């Protein structure tokens, strides 16, 4: 019996192939090796059963203040963060624990201990480092981005499997007379 299937091959990203041992991140004069691609397990701490359900409302409120502007004034965003945290008293500890657990997944146990030993500031740990990692890994909230150091091509991201048009699939202009496959006379438009 023959089957008619459509093959799809999912290959590792170019960076994963080029740097199978990971990429180097320098932070506070320390060098860390982190995975070439963001591991899915980094998200696990944020989806734990005991995670405060107010996180969605918290993130929504912050994004609302930003209005999509990732360069919004820090004072405005800071005030919104404080307001949201004050109205959700368990969220700060839960969020802090989730962020640290995510760093432990990303850096590994030894790397995480070394990271904390650098005595990072609040801004380093909760703003600069996450933003740099998001830029490097090419992740954002609802927007496609290119990892740092990678050129943006602006071109096609995949090759089409079929030509853009075929004689059988090219629609005729509205009101036109369709050409027949065996006809050597082109279709004539009436409109």
Identify the pLDDT of residue 67. Answer: 64
Q: What is the pLDDT of residues 159-176, one digit of tens each?
A: 444 444 444 444 444 454
Task: State residue 24 phi and psi, 5-degree precision.
Answer: -95, 135
In a domain, 148, yes or no: no
Identify the pLDDT of residue 103. Answer: 97
In a domain, 31, yes or no: yes
For residues 36 and 20, the answer to whether their CB atoms sit within 8 Å is: yes
Question: What H or E segment, with its residue span, contains residue 88?
Answer: none
In a domain, 48, yes or no: yes
| DSSP symbols for 9-36 | -----HHHHH-TT-EEEEETTEEEEE-S
Identify the pLDDT of residue 179. Answer: 47
Q: Which of 150, 151, 30, 44 is nearest to 98 (CA)?
A: 44
Mean pLDDT across the chain: 73
If one counts the domains in the chain, the total is 1
Q: What is the pLDDT of residues 91-103, one digit of tens each?
A: 788 888 999 999 9
For residues 114 and 30, the answer to whether their CB atoms sit within 8 Å is: yes
Residue 137 burial by Cβ neighbours in a 10 Å radius (0-12, 13-18, 19+): buried
Q: Supply the pTM of this predicted model.
A: 0.57
Range of the domain at 23: 14-52+90-136
In a domain, 80, yes or no: no
What pairs with residue 32 in β-bridges?
A: 25
Is the pLDDT at 51 greater than 80? The verdict is no
């Amino acid at each position: 019996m023959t089957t008619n299937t459509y093959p799809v091959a999912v290959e590792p990203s170019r960076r994963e192939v080029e740097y199978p041992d990971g990429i180097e991140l320098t932070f506070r004069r320390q060098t860390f090796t982190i995975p070439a691609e963001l591991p899915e397990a980094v998200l696990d701490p944020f989806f734990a059963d005991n995670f405060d359900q107010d996180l969605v409302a918290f993130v929504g409120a912050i994004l609302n203040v930003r209005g999509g502007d990732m360069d919004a004034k820090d004072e405005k965003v800071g005030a919104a963060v404080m307001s949201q945290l004050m109205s959700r008293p368990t969220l700060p500890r839960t969020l802090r624990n989730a962020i640290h657990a995510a760093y432990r997944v990303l850096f590994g146990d030894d790397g995480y201990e070394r990271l904390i030993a650098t005595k990072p500031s609040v801004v380093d740990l909760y703003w600069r480092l996450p933003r740099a990692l998001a830029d490097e890994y090419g992740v954002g909230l609802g927007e496609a981005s290119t990892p740092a150091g990678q050129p943006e091509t602006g071109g096609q991201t995949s090759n089409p499997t079929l030509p853009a048009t075929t004689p059988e699939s090219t629609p005729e202009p509205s009101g036109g007379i369709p050409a027949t496959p065996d006809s050597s006379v082109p279709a004539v438009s009436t409109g």
